[in-house]
Amino acid sequence: MSTTPVIEVERLNLKYGDFHAVRDLSFEVRPGELYALLGTNGAGKTSTLETVEGHRVPTSGTVRVFGQSPRDRKAVRPRMGIMLQDSGFSPDLTVRESVGLIGGLTRRDDDVDRVVDLVGLNHRAGTLVGQLSGGEKRRLDFATAVYGTPELIFLDEPTTGLDIQSRDDLWDAVDRLRENGSTVVLTTHYLEEAQQRADRIGLMHKGVFHREGTVAELTRTLPAVITFTPSATAPALPLPVAAAADGSVRVETFHLQKDLHLLLAWAQDHAVELRDLSAGPTRLDDVFRAIES
């Protein structure tokens, strides 16, 4: 597989009037990877994504997709599928007509019924889009994005409004596309989805890239946390305390297993009960909260 980046973004800036939505953003997406662009509300994720898709013109900086400008629709769009954040389908067309129209306009070949079936809408194929539920519209959106198995797929909040079964089905379909070599760019508010699926993650806050890397690389930057409430008569703790309140103690560590073992041994030796003991690795949520604060 080629190692030439599928997407290259260099010093991207986006302004809406006086509002600077994205500042000096640089990143690249490699072939076959699932890259998640995450951020707080108003961080500039969708603006960035829409610029990479070719929907917006950068105020400054360069964006290249497959080595070309994403605004060259004829050259780039047949190779990419786009799942927009908002529906954007005509309520007076049926599911099959919508997939046929939008899929056909991508200039990729596929069987409309196969794609409708892939997203589980075969029983609604003849239904007008205006009569679909929110979740069904998201699935229709996904269908047009994956029509013809594009090399690059943009998924903007793909699972919002979907029930658990539909989410699993969607991710199964994404997995199959990735097995076929498709590259995926994802934005989502469900951090656990990004944590489970993304090869690399870019974290945005207020239009700026704060961190980028694999989940392990991102979570490694923050300590893991152990919390417990020792009995009042307990001797001095074997680990430095990061915070204490109402008898509860919070210990932060970059060596979770070693320090937890030390703590449990100490409790055993001194017959100290550690009530409400909780220990876990750093999660993406923690990295997110650290950025926000």
Partner 1 sequence: MLAIARSELIQIFRNRMVLVTSFVIPVAVSAFFVYRHEVFAQLASFGYIAAIIMFTVGAFGLYTSIVTTLASRRQNLFLKRLRSTAESDAGILAGLVTPATVVALVQLTGILIVFGLVAGRPDNVPLLVLAVLATVAMMVGLALATAGVTNSPEHAQVTTLPVSLGVIAVSSWVGITGTAELELVKRLLPGGAATELMLNAWNGGVALSDSLVLLGPTFAWVVVAVSFANRMFRWEPRR
The residues of the shown chain that bind partner 1, judged by CB under 8 A, are 16, 53, 55, 73-74, 77-78, 82, 84, 86-93, 97, 101-102, 104-107, 128, 144
What CA–CA distance (Å, rounded) separates 47 from 250?
A: 39
The closest of 146, 220, 190 to 38, measured between CA atoms, is 190
DSSP state of 79: G
Q: Quick one: which of 223, 204, 221, 201 has its CA closest to 212?
A: 201
Angle between helices 164-179 and 134-146 (to 10 degrees): 0
Q: How far is the CB of 193 from partner 1 (least distance, A)?
A: 22
Nearest CA to 186 among 65, 54, 69, 29? 29
Looking at the Cβ atoms of 20 and 250, the one nearer to partner 1 is 20
- 3-state secondary structure (DSSP) of residue 242: coil
Q: What's the closest the beta carbon of residue 107 comes to partner 1, in angstroms?
A: 5
Per-residue tokens: 216: 């392990």
When the beta carbons of 127 and 229 are compared against partner 1, the nearer one is 127
Cβ 142 to partner 1 shortest distance, Å: 13
* C-alpha torsion sign, points 36, 37, 38, 41: negative
Query: In whole angstroms, how close is the CB of 73 to partner 1 at the nearest point?
Result: 5
d(CA 217, CA 195): 12
32 versus 103: smaller Cβ distance to partner 1: 103
Least distance to partner 1, CB of residue 97, Å: 6
Is the CB of 101 or the CB of 234 nearer to partner 1? 101
- With respect to partner 1, which residue has the nearer C-beta, 36 or 82? 82
CB closer to partner 1, 124 vs 210: 124
3-state secondary structure of 122: helix
Nearest distance from C-beta of residue 141 to partner 1, angstroms: 9
CB atoms under 10 Å from CB of 258, counted, come to: 10
Is the distance from CB of 150 to CB of 119 less than 8 angstroms?
A: no
- Could you give the maximum distance between any two Cα atoms of the chain, in Å? 74
CB nearer to partner 1: pick between 156 and 193: 156
Residue closer to partner 1, measured from CB, 152 or 263 = 152
Q: Nearest distance from residue 53's CB to partner 1, in Å?
A: 7
CB of 242 to partner 1, least distance (A): 43
Half-sphere exposure of 129 (CA within 13 A, CB side): 19
Helices vs. strands in the chain: H and E counts, helices first: 10, 13
